[in-house]
Amino acid sequence: MTAFHHSFDRTVLREYDIRGIVGQTLQPEDAFAIGRCFGSIVSRAGGTKVAVGYDGRLSSPDLEPQLVAGLRACGLEVIRIGLVATPMLYFASYHFGADGAVMVTGSHNPPDYNGFKMMLGKKPFFGAQIQEIGRMAAEGDVVPVSTEGSDHKVEVAEPYVARVMQDYDGGDRKLKVVWDPGNGSGADITKLLTAKLPGEHYVINGDVDGSFPNHHPDPTVAKNLEQLIAEVEKEGADLGIAFDGDADRIGVVDGEGNILFGDQLLVVLARDVLKSKPGGTIIADVKASQVLFDEIAKAGGTPLMWKTGHSLIKAKMAETGSPLAGEMSGHIFFADKWYGFDDAPYSAIRLLGIIARSSETLGQMRAALPQVINTPELRFDCPEERKFVVVDEVKARLAASGAKVQAVDGVRVLTEDGWWLLRASNTQAVLVARCEATSEAGLERLKAGLVEQLTASGLAAPDFSGENAGH
């Protein structure tokens, strides 16, 4: 066998996954190299079996065979589960007893992107581990194999749906629900699940189409939920549920067409979980509202603020024994009855159970939460080499001024008005900011505090023109 060496474009090896623009920064030979290096890691850890799935992007059917070939070159058995939502791959890893798993997916990125998410054993594979793949490829540090591995195709939709439905606890109450999988790889499973649920279910954008003809598949952006909100209104539905491109993130709107942000959704889910897990640790990322942490404590839980990033949250859940966690981005992680990975269809089923058992509507649950005023998530460009430095500069100035700061991930500054956050993105050359207050005047003071710190580090103020998200 010829010696193996490969170099990746420097931009594709990210914190949580490998991701790039197909034909520019990401090529089919990269997929082979990922299989060859990740497969070597699995093999050296004593593993023999890897599960592989791919999303509905136009480039995914070209990348998946190359990935499989790389894994086979390590002598591994490859379980190919086909075109699926990312959580179905995670489920398959448990269901079929795999030693690792790789999903070919561009998640919620534009159509010309694609990438790879990985699990090693039952744990997320991220950070330094992803950088290690780059080193192994460059140095040709892979396992020598005398016998090529094998691959076979298996069906996972039926066992996945059966296992998800096992945890639906809403009885026979008939809800009216509109679903929008956004033409992503969660489309087919959405139709299979809704066929099993009581009530009336309407699926829009329910055909897998990697060109995403109707809207971008990112449910955290309000514009992408406009079609869902219109359908909820038209059908007089109890709620609407949206998924991102690979269905590991969820977006929700209530019967009045109001968006429930990730932290508001987590309040509803946490109250229910804490009934059977009193005192349980519920984890949310640093971008979440203070209302969430207060409501978790009020419901008898132990709130824990943690770093943004699905891999980081999953690792923290395992460490703390947390039954539930979530991010503002719509990643919801159930370890209560489930496996601890982010799974939008499963989270939807648990939410429907809560609503079906409640005397309140989802809209009433949302309206009863303490009202605060906050900015949307503000993302603004900052050179890669400056983004972490700027946060450190701000941190040092705040420390010198005696400000009250939480430094779990970037800086979250607490004042009498509320809080503001500044952190560096792990995946892009941007800084991320957010402000939350109990009054409009307080919000303006928080914004001014943020702008003052950015100016001191030579950066322009972010665009605050996006509508304030009152919640």
**Best CA proximity match to 106, nearest among 62, 149, 45:** 62
**Best CA proximity match to 243, nearest among 55, 456, 18:** 55
Q: Is 7 annotated as catalytic? A: no
Cα 281–Cα 261–Cα 14 angle in degrees, nearest 5: 75
Where do runs of H (alpha helix) occur along 141-285? 157-165, 187-196, 226-235, 262-276
CA–CA distance, 28 with 106 (Å, rounded to integer): 14
Contact 219, 242 (CB under 8 A): yes
Rg (the chain; Cα; Å)? 22
CA–CA distance, 298 with 391 (Å, rounded to integer): 32
Hey, how many other C-beta atoms are within 10 angstroms of the C-beta on 110? Answer: 12
Catalytic residue among 40, 43, 107, 311: 107
**Best CA proximity match to 197, nearest among 177, 225, 217:** 177
**Best CA proximity match to 227, nearest among 176, 183, 191:** 183
**At residue 99, what is the residue type?**
D
Hey, how many other C-beta atoms are within 10 angstroms of the C-beta on 221? Answer: 15
CA–CA distance, 110 with 108 (Å, rounded to integer): 7
DSSP state of 362: H
Cα 446–Cα 447–Cα 449 angle in degrees, nearest 5: 65
End-to-end CA distance of the chain: 60
Cβ neighbours for 402, distance < 8 A, ≥ 6 positions apart: none
- 252, containing H or E segment: strand 250-254
Active site residues: 107
